[in-house]
Amino acid sequence: MKKIIICFVALAIPFVVLSQETNTQEKTRFKRFLNNLSGSFESNAQWYLDDDKTGDFEEDEHIRANSYLKLDYNFLGNFSIGLQAESYMPEPLLNYDWLYNEKFDLAQYYVNYKTKKLDVTAGYFYEQFGNGLVFRAWEDRALGVNNSIRGGKVRYNPTDFLELTALYGKQRRGLDVSESNVLGINSEFNLRNLLDVDLFDELSLGFSYVNKSEDYGYVNDVVSVPNHVDAYSVRLDLSIKNLYSNIEYVKKSDDLRWKSENKLFDGNALYFNLGYSKKGLGINSTFRRLENMNFYSQREDLNGRINLTNRGTLNYLPALTKQYDYTLANIYLYQAQPGLSVEDYQTVQVKAGEIGYQIDVFYKFKKGSLLGGRYGTKVTANLSYWADLNTKVSDPNGIPYFSSDALTYETDFFKFGEKLFRDFNLEVRKKWSPKLSSIFTYINLYYNADYFKANNKEVDAWIGIAESTYKFGKGKSLRLEAQHLLTDDDSKNWLGGTIEYFHNSNFGIYFNDSYNYEESDVEENSKIHFFNVGGSFTKGATRVALNYGRQRGGLICVGGVCRPVSKNTGITLNLTTSF
């Protein structure tokens, strides 16, 4: 009820302001209101069906939908207000967080005042400090993630070399908020402006501090559980002509590893990016090390084996690997391994985090050259390699480590441990004529399935992809795509393909299929055609898409952040519009 009252009060503000303008006609005021009003609506619905290949849908609700209505209004030049209503009825789409079950509510609202130097927000807001290693509040509807903060945020630019940000509030958790409070302070110093140094195109220094305050509410005789967990970040950005670099280090104070544990551990992160760019050539390299960097606003969400939806995460730790649009390239996906876990089978294994790197190289062969041809040729190469941290376990109480409160560990800071994932890929984009162009992709990867699934398997695979697009003119185009995945391990060999036709810029249809044509060790995906057929229609700012097909069980990832999806069959309707 309180949210509804806030909603009506927020919407009433511009009408009160406009009603004071006695010399303005009603039509003019209404037109001005519409000109300052913007919004969007998105609905994703699915009808889950029984299928003799993917199995019967065993949940009670076969028809499910996630819908979002967002409204924003600007007035008096510097003010804006907004709200977002969300519906997950009769139930949210499969594999979304259970906190959304059968819910409809005013999920978010805000009031903002903004000038050249001052930006103040009350209500719900998003924010990121640095690379997000220490703090990021964000939304991604495809993943079911909305970790915004409800409270207040102030950003102030007193000079051209200093930006200060302070925030305080509670993090969103489902359609409610967490029990903890979050305090964040961020400062950005533009040293180039401050020191008036022309040698650098960019030279800036940043500091961040984040505090999570939560009353543990549990008397622990073994260890004093802190009510406050702090995280600190320092970073440096610089660029000189074609060279650019960014480095950030984060330190996180002691906290529980699991909610029920009697042991505290701290965490840290190191991120380093170096690149070179000029016309026709780009080289970018990234190194990252994460140790016990899971950072949640509520201790109830600490157990990552239960919290698979990134609920309540205060920081942003995506997998730094190549992101693909192709179905077969998304069978073996790497998820960042930032957390600390202890597993006790016959020997104790401590997983403390990850260490690795990614290298991107882009080169364009000039038009008229031997390899460039008449229209030029673009080549992209990418290599990513990720390993477990090398750890040494010790426990004065002896075996079993798993139940001992005295267990501790040490890591070698720059030493690579067990190999987890390696991906080398090469992409060639070639334009043959004004109407015909092609993309060829080769992927060679290693996936440590034993580490992630404890199934005593390691996967070596390569994937070949070829696609071509022919443009007929007047918006008509045809795209053909063929894929093949080859491996002697785990999921065995797959074939995939897509045919897509656009009749004009508004209407298109497609069909794709992925088929595991050999007996697979993963029985649930063996010899099943995971096909999809559908189309979309776009008119102005409105898009409607309809699809029927099968979803392979596994992971869906957006920007390196993933959530699990169950194998299913159904009809999907997507509607998006903005105004």
Query: What contacts 24+ positions apart, CB below 8 Å, involve 185-194?
Result: 185/209, 185/210, 186/129, 186/130, 186/135, 187/162, 187/163, 188/162, 188/163, 188/164, 189/161, 189/162, 190/160, 190/161, 190/162, 190/163, 191/161, 193/159, 193/160, 193/161, 194/161, 194/162
Question: Which is more confidently placed, 6 or 554?
Answer: 554
Confidence of residue 397 (pLDDT cuts 50, 70, 90): low
Which region among 46-55, 180-189, 377-386, 490-499 has the lowest average model confidence (pLDDT)? 490-499
Domain boundaries, the chain: 115-317
Residue 575 CA to residue 44 CA, distance in Å, equals: 7
pLDDT attached to residue 398 = 62
Q: Which of 23, 310, 389 is nearest to 147 (CA)?
A: 310
Contact 468, 498 (CB under 8 A): no
At a CB cut-off of 8 Å and minimum separation 6, what does 443 contact? 324, 329, 423, 424, 425, 462, 463, 464, 465
Contact 158, 117 (CB under 8 A): yes
Overall average pLDDT of the 199-210 stretch: 96
Confidence of residue 100 (pLDDT cuts 50, 70, 90): very high
Contact 480, 466 (CB under 8 A): no
Q: Which of 238, 226, 420 is nearest to 320 (CA)?
A: 420
Q: Which of 284, 247, 302 is nearest to 269 (CA)?
A: 247
Residue 166 CA to residue 152 CA, distance in Å, equals: 8
Overall average pLDDT of the 224-229 stretch: 87
Q: Is 474 left (phi over 0), alpha (psi -120 to 50) or beta?
A: left
pLDDT tens for each residue of 23-43: 556 777 777 778 899 999 999
Residue 552 CA to residue 530 CA, distance in Å, equals: 6
Taking CA atoms, 282 is separated from 319, 367, 425, in Å, by 21, 18, 16
pLDDT attached to residue 5 = 46
Q: Which of 331, 334, 458 is nearest to 384 (CA)?
A: 334
Residue carrying the six token digits 């040729």 = 377
**Helix (H), strand (E), coil (C) string for 208-227:** EEEEEECCCCCCCCCCCCCC
pLDDT tens for each residue of 406-450: 677 889 999 999 999 999 999 999 999 999 999 999 999 999 988
Give me the chain's average pLDDT, please. 89
* DSSP 8-state code for residue 296: B
Q: Is the pTM of this model over 0.95?
A: no
pLDDT tens for each residue of 115-174: 999 999 999 999 999 999 999 999 999 999 999 999 999 999 999 999 999 999 999 999
Question: Which is more confidently placed, 175 or 222?
Answer: 175
- Give me the sign of the Cα torsion angle 270, 293, 96, 550: positive
Q: Is 132 left (phi over 0), alpha (psi -120 to 50) or beta?
A: left
Residue 347 CA to residue 364 CA, distance in Å, equals: 51
Residue 265 CA to residue 261 CA, distance in Å, equals: 11
